[in-house]
């Protein structure tokens, strides 16, 4: 039986290659993900360990909110550093200051994203150099008017040594002379951010206070015990406001942190790899089902000469195991290339992943081999069971025995129960309001898709009949033959179409949600936001309240409304509160008051959005017992109720209500209305009013739309790319099914040729059959995707009032066109093979 399994495996090399391809693509995705994760994790760990090579103890100041002067205060001072230096066993102490600084490039545009714009103090040693930042050219900053930066930052911004650099930390624009360029392997900088280096006194003046530091990095003298040194340092620093960590513990913490950061991306990639493997299961099961159907005589002979049912099952599973092992080995090799490609693509998009050797761990190899083999064996298990049930006499008498009606009935009942449960869960999920209920929607989506897959043979008949009716009308007899071929074996058609359906379901769902979300954002900016400009900071650090009055003085500006975000607890619900100028807010947003008056909103009075008022049962004149975060309870009065408005949020108040007594008040954004609408000249005047500060973003409606569209589009395109593997596997399945179907119908094709059907007609028949199957998968996938996106979107719409499920007809038409193209391309080889069959030999085939 083992020799028989091996012989069957290599009997048809083309069939073998197509089946292997379906397995190895999924395995390649899995192995590529694991290799990529291990490689990046190891590179990040090595880079982190390199930075901690000389760190015996780290003393980190606990973060404190900025004071009224926008600078932080820490307990680590010059005096603390001197005490630590005096501890026995300490070789040196480096006192670090960290912050952020947004650079203006030579063309005035900001460099990098806010979270990637780093600043630090340059600390020269006895040799005049800072070991953390090796000098490439020039020297380190030594005075208040000097600055150094990363070489990559200078290249991107267009600066050279000697140039005057404009940048901002958390206030007015600063200008300093560039005196040096340094190298750095900080991932934030290599990922497209920036690095600014200042002398210590200047860094303290900008971010902290004179004589204060964020961290003291202690290096040990030769022979010093790290644990004992950590205890001594801990005793030398203040008991509160600072954390003392040994170098070993710090390395472990960073290792865990890096692993957690890497875990999210790995989990996402593995999810899509699982989808690809799930699609592959249909292809493998379909292949083995057809193989067994074609080998019924052979299996019957084996049974007749004494092979038991168990041996038949074992033979098929051995064949599947060998196939899975071969596919997994090849897929593992391809996965290494995928891992390299993923890193290259991410770095091309400014991911800034550090360089390092490829890491192929034994766990990755075993996991990849086990995954491919187990998936193949599981997919072949049911076909092997069917093979064992073949009666010798029955198999010798016919080669085309239909499946038992009972099995299809039971399948339909099971599919209806599972699919019905999934639909019910999705209808329930559409009424939920919290994002915490997302797992419920995911469960409903999975059940719905499984139910549709199980019911696919039943659904294939009407859908294929309708599609075939069109082909029959357009292509005559050949079109009718293609329809009948697709209808002849609904299980096979369903399995082939389901592979394509899974990918298109997910792609359609993401497309509809993304399109609807973008439309909601567009409606918000075009209808609710009547202001011409929104002014914010790229670091989300807020704007000085004095700038509101300064903006109002710009020629052409007719209204300015600051928004200061806060929140309070009303019962167990958090309510977003926007403090604003109630006199001008109605001129920058379409605010419709339905109860009371905004003029009455002052002091402890607030205006509520209608949805909040309805939910809490409050109306004008009633009081609210609320608690601000970190503050005692307060009694507020409802002075007005307005129609839900994304700009205004859940509640509005005057500015003093949201002011915090311990912090200097900041406006999160300014909404600006002008007399003649948005124009480049007005935008330039507004930027000039802020000193052309690179921190400040002046955005009109188109800028806001483009920014949001970029974020949504990036997510959707990423999903397209990841799901592309599943679609490729589905195409392989169509090719495989058609090729084996042609082999199965060799005599039939010979008879068609004998009665006058030309070779071109044979080709057209196979192509149309492929198109019909592909369209069946596309219609099913798009239909299920639309339903799931509607149900999930309804859950999103409960908290996002402007969200409305809208269909991107152009994209949906494109998906149908792609399905047509898949059908045509997948049929090229099988159609050529069918047309080349010798007529007489085909008629005599057994």
**383 closest CA partner among 310, 288, 300, 303:** 288
Counting residues of the chain whose pLDDT is more than 90, the rounded percentage is 20
281-316 confidence digits (pLDDT tens) = 777 777 777 777 667 777 777 777 777 888 878 888
Write down the pLDDT at residue 399: 46
- Amino acid 474: pLDDT: 83
Question: Would residue 513 be called left, alpha or beta, if left means φ above 0 and alpha means ψ between -120 and 50 degrees?
Answer: alpha
The maximal CA–CA distance of the chain, rounded, in angstroms, is 103
Interior angle at CA 129, CA 351 and CA 200, nearest 5: 80
Distance (Å, whole) CA 295 – CA 383? 12
Beta bridge partners, 672, equal: 533, 560
**What's the count of helices (H) and strands (E) in the chain, helices before strands?**
26, 22
pLDDT of 406 above 60: no
pLDDT at residue 397 in the model: 55
* Cβ-contact 429, 463 below 8 angstroms: no
Bridging pattern class, strands 573-580 and 102-104: unpaired
**Cα separation, 255 vs 247, whole angstroms:** 12
Mean pLDDT of 194-203: 93
Output the pLDDT for position 201: 93
Which pLDDT score, from 0 to 100, does residue 199 have? 94
* pLDDT for position 150: 92
DSSP H or E stretch at residue 708: helix 701-744
The model's pLDDT over 606-616, given as tens digits with 9 standing for 90+, comes to 999 998 888 88
Specify which of 176-185, 274-283, 567-576 reaches the highest per-range mean pLDDT. Answer: 176-185
Distance in angstroms (rounded) separating the CA atoms of residues 493 and 774:
9
- 502 exposure class (CB count in 10 Å sphere: 0-12, 13-18, 19+): buried
Q: How far apart are the C-alpha atoms of 367 and 328, rounded to whole Å?
A: 10
User: Per the structure block, which two tokens stand in for 808?
Assistant: 């991107």
Report pLDDT for 211.
Answer: 92
In this predicted model, what pLDDT tens digit does every residue of 49-87 receive, in sequence order? 666 777 889 999 987 666 656 678 888 999 999 999 999
Give DSSP secondary structure letters for 438-486.
Answer: HHHHHHHHHHHHHHHHHHHHHHHHHHHHHHHHHHHHHHTHHHHHHHHHH
Is residue 845 over pLDDT 60?
no
Contact 506, 785 (CB under 8 A): yes
pLDDT at 37 over 70: yes
Contact 161, 137 (CB under 8 A): yes
Strands 117-122 and 194-199: parallel
Helices (H), 165-246: 187-190, 200-207, 226-236
Q: What is the pLDDT of residue 5?
A: 60
> What is the pLDDT at residue 403?
43
β-pairing, 102-104 vs 533-537, is unpaired
Neighbouring C-beta atoms of residue 818, cutoff 10 Å: 16
β-pairing verdict for 593-596 and 633-642: antiparallel
pTM surpassing 0.85? no
Contacts of 792 (CB under 8 A, 6+ apart): 426, 429, 430, 441, 445, 509, 513
**pLDDT tens sequence across 227-271:** 899 999 999 888 888 899 988 888 888 777 767 767 777 777 788
pLDDT digits (tens, 9 = 90+) for 349-385: 666 666 778 888 888 888 888 888 888 888 888 788 8
For 680-726, what is each residue's pLDDT tens digit? 889 989 988 888 888 888 999 888 888 777 667 777 777 777 677 77
Closest CA to 325 of 383, 377, 286: 377
Look at 464-478, 617-631, 698-712, 831-845 and tell me which has the smallest mean pLDDT. 831-845
Mean pLDDT of the chain: 82
| Most confident by average pLDDT, 160-169, 463-472, 827-836 | 160-169
For 109-143, the pLDDT digits (tens) are: 888 776 678 899 999 888 788 888 899 999 999 99
Supply the pLDDT for residue 27: 84
C-alpha 345/C-alpha 349 separation (Å) is 6
User: Among 175-184, 741-750, 836-845, which is the least confidently predicted range?
Assistant: 836-845
């Amino acid at each position: 039986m083992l020799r028989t399994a091996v012989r069957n495996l290599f009997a048809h090399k083309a069939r073998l290659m197509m089946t292997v391809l379906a397995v190895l693509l999924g395995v390649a995705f899995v192995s590529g993900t694991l290799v990529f994760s291990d490689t990046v994790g190891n590179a990040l760990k090595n880079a982190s360990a390199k930075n901690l090579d000389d760190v015996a103890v780290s003393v980190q100041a606990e973060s404190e909110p900025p004071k009224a002067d926008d600078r932080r205060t820490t307990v680590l001072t010059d005096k603390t550093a001197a005490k630590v230096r005096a501890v026995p066993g300490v070789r040196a102490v480096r006192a670090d200051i960290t912050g952020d600084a947004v650079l203006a490039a030579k063309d005035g545009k900001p460099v990098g994203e806010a979270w990637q714009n780093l600043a630090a103090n340059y600390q020269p040693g006895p040799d005049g150099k800072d070991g953390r930042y090796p000098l490439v050219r020039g020297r380190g900053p030594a005075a208040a008017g000097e600055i150094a930066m990363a070489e990559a930052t200078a290249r991107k911004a267009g600066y050279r040594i000697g140039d005057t650099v404009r940048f901002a930390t958390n206030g007015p624009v600063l200008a300093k002379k560039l005196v040096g360029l340094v190298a750095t392997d900080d991932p934030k900088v290599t990922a497209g951010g920036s690095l600014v280096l200042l002398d210590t006194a200047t860094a303290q003046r900008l971010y902290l206070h004179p004589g204060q530091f964020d961290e003291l990095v202690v290096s040990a003298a030769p022979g010093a015990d790290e644990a004992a040194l950590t205890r001594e340092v801990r005793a030398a620093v203040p008991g509160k406001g600072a954390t003392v960590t040994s170098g070993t513990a710090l390395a472990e913490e960073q290792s865990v942190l890096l692993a957690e950061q890497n875990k999210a991306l790995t989990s996402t990639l593995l999810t899509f790899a699982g989808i690809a493997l799930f699609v592959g299961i249909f292809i493998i099961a379909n292949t083995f089902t057809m193989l067994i159907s074609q080998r019924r005589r052979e299996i019957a002979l084996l049974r007749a000469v004494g092979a038991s049912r168990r041996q038949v099952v074992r033979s098929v599973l051995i064949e599947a195991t060998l196939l899975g092992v071969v596919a997994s080995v090849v897929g593992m090799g391809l996965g290494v290339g995928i891992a390299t490609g993923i890193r290259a693509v991410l770095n091309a998009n400014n991911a800034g992943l550090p360089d390092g050797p490829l890491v192929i761990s034994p766990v990755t190899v075993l996991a990849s081999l086990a995954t491919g083999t187990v998936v193949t064996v599981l997919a072949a298990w049911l076909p092997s069971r069917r093979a064992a049930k073949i009666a010798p006499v029955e198999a010798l008498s016919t080669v085309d025995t239909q499946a038992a009606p009972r099995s299809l009935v039971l399948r339909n009942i099971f599919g209806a129960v599972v699919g019905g449960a999934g639909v019910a869960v999705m209808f329930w999920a559409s009424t939920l309001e919290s994002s915490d209920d997302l797992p419920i929607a995911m469960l409903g989506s999975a059940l719905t898709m499984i139910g549709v897959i199980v019911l696919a043979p039943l659904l294939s008949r009407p859908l294929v009949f309708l599609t075939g009716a069109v082909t029959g009308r357009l292509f005559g007899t050949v079109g009718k033959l293609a329809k009948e071929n697709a209808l002849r074996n609904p299980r096979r058609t369903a399995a082939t179409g389901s592979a394509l359906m899974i990918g298109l379901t997910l792609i359609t769902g993401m497309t509809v949600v993304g399109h609807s979300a973008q439309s909601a954002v567009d409606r918000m900016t075009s209808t609710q936001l009547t202001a011409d400009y929104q002014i914010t900071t790229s670091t989300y650090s807020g704007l000085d309240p004095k700038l509101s009055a300064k903006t109002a003085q710009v020629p052409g500006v007719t209204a300015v409304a600051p928004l200061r975000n806060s929140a309070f607890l009303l019962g167990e619900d958090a309510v977003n509160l926007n403090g604003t100028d109630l006199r001008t807010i109605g001129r920058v947003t379409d605010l419709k008051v339905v109860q009371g008056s905004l003029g009455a909103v002052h002091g402890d009075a607030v205006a509520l959005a209608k949805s909040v008022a309805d939910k809490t049962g409050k109306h004008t004149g009633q009081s609210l017992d609320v608690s601000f975060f970190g503050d005692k309870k307060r009694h507020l009065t409802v002075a007005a109720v307005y129609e839900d408005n994304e700009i205004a949020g859940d509640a509005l108040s005057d500015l003093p209500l949201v002011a915090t007594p311990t912090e200097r008040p900041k406006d999160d954004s300014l909404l600006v209305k002008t007399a003649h609408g948005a124009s480049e000249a007005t935008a330039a005047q507004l930027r000039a009013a802020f000193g052309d500060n690179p921190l400040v973003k002046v955005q009109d409606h188109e800028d806001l739309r483009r920014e949001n569209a970029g974020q949504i589009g990036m997510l959707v395109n990423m999903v397209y790319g990841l799901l592309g593997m599943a679609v490729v596997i589905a195409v392989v399945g169509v090719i495989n099914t058609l090729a084996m179907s042609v082999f199965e119908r060799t005599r039939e094709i010979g008879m068609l040729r004998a009665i006058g059907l030309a070779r071109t007609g044979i080709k057209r028949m196979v192509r149309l059959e492929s198109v019909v199957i592909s369209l069946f998968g596309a219609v099913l996938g798009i239909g299920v995707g639309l339903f799931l996106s509607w149900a999930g979107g309804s859950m999103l719409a409960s908290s996002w009032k402007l969200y409305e499920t809208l269909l991107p007809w152009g994209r949906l038409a494109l998906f149908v066109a792609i399905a047509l193209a898949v059908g045509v391309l997948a049929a090229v080889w099988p159609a050529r093979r069918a047309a080349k069959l010798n007529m007489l030999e085909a008629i005599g085939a057994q």
